[in-house]
Amino acid sequence: MVEGEANKTDRGRFNRSRGPVAIAALAGILALTAFGMVSCGDRGSGMRFWQRADASSNACPRPASLTGSEFNAQETGLRALRRAAFRGDFFAQLELGSRYAAVRATDKNIEDPIESATWYAMALANDEGYAPINRVDRGGFGGWRPLSKYDDCRAFERHTAYQRLDRQLGQMTREEQEAVRDRVVYVLSTQDAEGFRTLARLHDGLYGPFGEPEDNREAREAWGRNSGGGAENRDRRRRGYLAATSLFPRNDVDAYLYNYLAVQTGDVGAYVLMKDFERSAPSRDQYSRFVEAKARQWTPPFEFYPNEAPASGVPFSDESRPRGDAYEYALTRMGTELPFIHVGRALRYLGITDTAPTRPEDLSKRQIETLEAMLGHPMESRLSYLERVRAIQLAAVNGSSEAQLVLAVMYAEGIGLPPDYARAFKWFDEAARQGSPEAKFAMSSYFALGVSGVADQDKAQAVALRIDSALSGFGPSAARLQAVLAQVSRSQQRR
């Protein structure tokens, strides 16, 4: 036998003799590898990597500008976070939730559970927090899993946000929970079609508690359907996060309504989604006519983010900037069609000026900056058209019947704001409740003519309001009332 053949024979004999051992060793190595890969991912084992480690190492990193001390520049930092959060930044929303929850001792002075819950809810509803990214199919070793920790750290952040939100809502009254819901609805309503689509998912029973896909891990955990083991997980599987999952009740009509409002913004994708919604259940396509009427009456919960809330050290923020050609055109009309005296009276009502200025030039730089500070706007030496609108809105929401009347007219005529008859009616109604005869006269016209979806035609209500307006001293109404009374007298004489 030649040397080469002998070597082959020896290698074959060696391999045959060591075969079972080698196979067992290889199987062990593969098993350990598979175990390691599965334990780092969220598929296969039912457990995420962060469930085995400490919280600080699992949270997504934050830039130093967000995690620094900021004790002396707290308000500046909060305003920067709010600007980003209103634009849909997932991590800014999480950070605001943490700040207002006073997780850090230095934030104790701005602690506000309602505001904290609002931003945790916004983060949970934000698809930036759960849309998968950077994933690869690992075959039999755990299935689809992240190439990096980005998916997993976001999952950990949402897991924590669910826990904190549930705890906060569980300690609130019903009115406080409604305040959280109203703020979320308002912020999303400022985000055009995307925001309305999110609101539709929040009310759609085919999605998770905050609009996630129903099979999302954190959504299933929130519903109490988690597949993890252990006594604690079994208990959570039974109860879930009851307070968090009930913040937005499932309702097909509301889900349809927000899909419809998304379509009204002109978004083509929203139309496709609405048609998909109609086909998703047999009864859903029957709501169209009812929802169309309801949509004409729908108005956001606030004019803009409410300055009276939160009442703690949280700075007020006006981040809902008007967008679109309709808004821009309406704003330009502020300079030509609305006498500045109405803005001046609003500023006086707000305590910014002692008298009601009749011209923009009558305002000092300090007075302008006082309003801008209230709104959280950049400090400038002139009052922009948007700030004129905000001054009237701010006075209206704080109870000025005169500002409420002016705001109603602005909505009715499309001055400063795009025409919105439902919103106009709301502010006419608010002013009328405070005794404004002009507002009563305007409401009588609504009921006399009938405005579809806003106020049904009601001649008796129109006459009652017109008489009330006349008795309150409103000239046009009084003249109209005299004419009606004269006509009645003539008809009685003919008898």
Q: Which residue has the higher pLDDT, 304 or 218?
A: 218
H or E segment at 137? strand 135-137
pLDDT tens, 340-364? Answer: 999 999 999 999 999 999 999 999 9
H or E segment at 146? strand 144-146
Give the mean pLDDT of the chain: 76
CATH numbers and ranges of domains, the chain: 49-61+74-297 (no CATH), 325-494 (1.25.40.10)
Give me the DSSP letters along 262-309. HHHTT-HHHHHHHHHHHHTSTTGGGGHHHHHHHHHH---SSSSS-TTS
Q: What is the mean pLDDT of residues 245-255?
A: 92
Q: Distances in Å between the alpha carbon of 303 and those of 101, 167, 203, 403?
A: 26, 29, 23, 13
Q: Which residue has the higher pLDDT, 437 or 227?
A: 437
Band the pLDDT of 249: cuts 50, 70, 90: very high
Residue 338, pLDDT score: 87
Angle among Cα 238, 243, 245 to the nearest 5 degrees reads 75
Residue 30, pLDDT score: 39
CB 193 within 8 A of CB 131: no
Band the pLDDT of 303: cuts 50, 70, 90: confident
CB 452 within 8 A of CB 296: yes
> Is the model's pLDDT at 482 over the cut of 90?
no
Range ranked top by mean pLDDT from 47-51, 70-74, 107-111, 220-224: 220-224
Q: How far apart are CA 264 and CA 58, in angstroms?
A: 41
Q: What is the mean pLDDT of residues 28-46?
A: 39
Q: Give which of 222, 224, 246, 76 is closest to 155, Cα–Cα.
A: 222
Q: How far apart are CA 339 and CA 473, in angstroms?
A: 23
Q: Is the pTM of the predicted complex or chain greater than 0.85?
A: no
Lowest mean pLDDT among 19-28, 225-234, 370-379, 407-416: 19-28
pLDDT tens, 263-295? Answer: 988 889 889 988 888 888 887 878 777 888 888
Q: Distances in Å between the alpha carbon of 290 and those of 3, 293, 294?
A: 93, 5, 6
Q: For residue 143, with 0-12 CB atoms within 10 Å meaning exposed, 13-18 middle and 19 or more buried, which class applies?
A: middle
Band the pLDDT of 447: cuts 50, 70, 90: low
Q: Give which of 47, 355, 392, 386 is closest to 221, Cα–Cα.
A: 47
